[in-house]
Amino acid sequence: MAFCSFCFERHAIVFTTRTVNGENIDEAYCVKCAYQSKIAGVKEPLTVAGINDGNIDEIADKIEMMMLENNTDGDVTGFFRNLVNKKIDLKPFAGSDAPVNKDTNMNLENSKPDLEAVKKFFEGDKYATEATGIVIEKAEKGHSVVSLMPNSRHLNAVGGLMGAVYYTMADFAFAVAENCILDSDTITVTQATQMNFLRSWHGGKITCTADIVKDGRYICLYEVKAFDKDGTELALIIVNGFKTARK
Ligand SMILES: [Zn+2]
Which string of DSSP letters, residue by residue, matches 159-171? Answer: SSBPHHHHHHHHH
Are 135 and 234 contained in the same domain?
yes
Range of the domain at 163: 115-245
Cα 101 to middle of ligand 1, angstroms = 21
Q: How confident is the model at residue 97 (pLDDT cuts 50, 70, 90)?
A: low
Give the model's pLDDT for residue 94: 43
Domain boundary among 31, 61, 84: 84
User: CB atoms < 10 A from the CB of 142, how many?
Assistant: 20
Does residue 229 sit in the same domain as residue 124?
yes
Q: Are residues 21 and 127 in the same domain?
A: no
Judge whether 94 lies within some domain.
Answer: no
> How far apart (Å, rounded) are the C-alpha atoms in residues 240 and 11?
11
For residue 187, the surrounding DSSP H or E stretch is strand 186-197
Q: Is residue 110 part of a domain?
A: no
Same domain, 238 and 155: yes
Are 35 and 121 members of one domain? Answer: no
Question: 25-36 burial, b for 16+ CB within 10 Å, e for fewer?
Answer: eebbbbbbbbbb
Among the candidates 63, 84, 105, a domain finishes at 84
Residue 35 within any structural domain of the chain: yes
Given 66, 84, 102, the domain boundary residue is: 84
Which pLDDT does position 140 carry in this prediction?
93
106 CA distance to ligand 1 middle (Å): 19
Distance 30 CA to ligand 1 centre (A): 4
pLDDT greater than 50 at residue 93: no
Compute CA distances 110 → 99, 107, 181, 183, whole Å: 10, 9, 8, 10
Residue 97 lies in a domain: no
Both 77 and 157 in a single domain? Answer: no
**Axis-axis angle for helices 115-122, 163-179 (nearest 10):** 130
Per the domain annotation, does 7 fall within a domain?
no
- Split at pLDDT 50, 70, 90, the class of 40 is confident
How far, in Å, from the CA of 19 to the mean position of ligand 1? Answer: 21
Closest Cα partner for 144 from 107, 112, 187, 177? Answer: 177
Domain contains 54: yes
**Contacts of residue 198, Cβ cutoff 8 Å, sequence gap at least 6:** 233, 234, 235, 236
Query: Do residues 122 and 240 share a domain?
Result: yes
According to DSSP, residue 204 is labeled S
218 Cα–ligand 1 center, Å? 15
CA of 12 to the centre of ligand 1 (A): 7
130-142 mean pLDDT? 96
As to burial, measured by CB atoms within 10 angstroms (0-12 exposed, 13-18 middle, 19+ buried), residue 82 is middle
Residue of higher predicted confidence among 191 and 68: 191
pLDDT tens-digit readout, 153-199: 999 999 899 999 999 999 999 999 999 998 888 899 999 999 999 99
Q: Compute the distance from residue 191 Cα to the ligand 1 centre, in Å.
A: 16
72 and 126 inside one domain: no
Residue 71 lies in a domain: yes
Confidence of residue 74 (pLDDT cuts 50, 70, 90): very low
Q: pLDDT-derived band of residue 125, with 50, 70 and 90 as boundaries?
A: very high
Read off the pLDDT band of 150 (50, 70, 90): very high
Residue 120 shares a structural domain with residue 241: yes
CA of 97 to the centre of ligand 1 (A): 27
Residue type, 55: N
pLDDT at 75 over 60: no
Confidence of residue 77 (pLDDT cuts 50, 70, 90): low
How many angstroms does the Cα of residue 136 sit away from the middle of ligand 1?
A: 33
| 127 and 62 within one domain | no
**138 in any annotated domain:** yes
CATH of the domain at 230: 3.10.129.10
Are 130 and 241 found together in one domain?
A: yes
Residues 136 and 234 in one domain: yes
Question: Which pTM was predicted?
Answer: 0.65
pLDDT tens readout for residues 206-236:
999 999 998 887 889 999 999 999 999 999 9
Query: Structural domain tally of the chain?
Result: 2
DSSP labels, 109-178: TT----HHHHHHHHTT-HIIIIII--EEEEEETTEEEEEE---GGGB-TTSSBPHHHHHHHHHHHHHHHH
The rounded Å distance from CA 58 to ligand 1 centre is 14
Q: How far is the CA of 162 from the centre of ligand 1 (A)?
A: 33
If we measure between CA atoms, which residue out of 207, 194, 211 comes closest to residue 234? 207
pLDDT at 76 over 60: no
How many angstroms separate the alpha carbon of residue 130 from the centre of ligand 1? 38
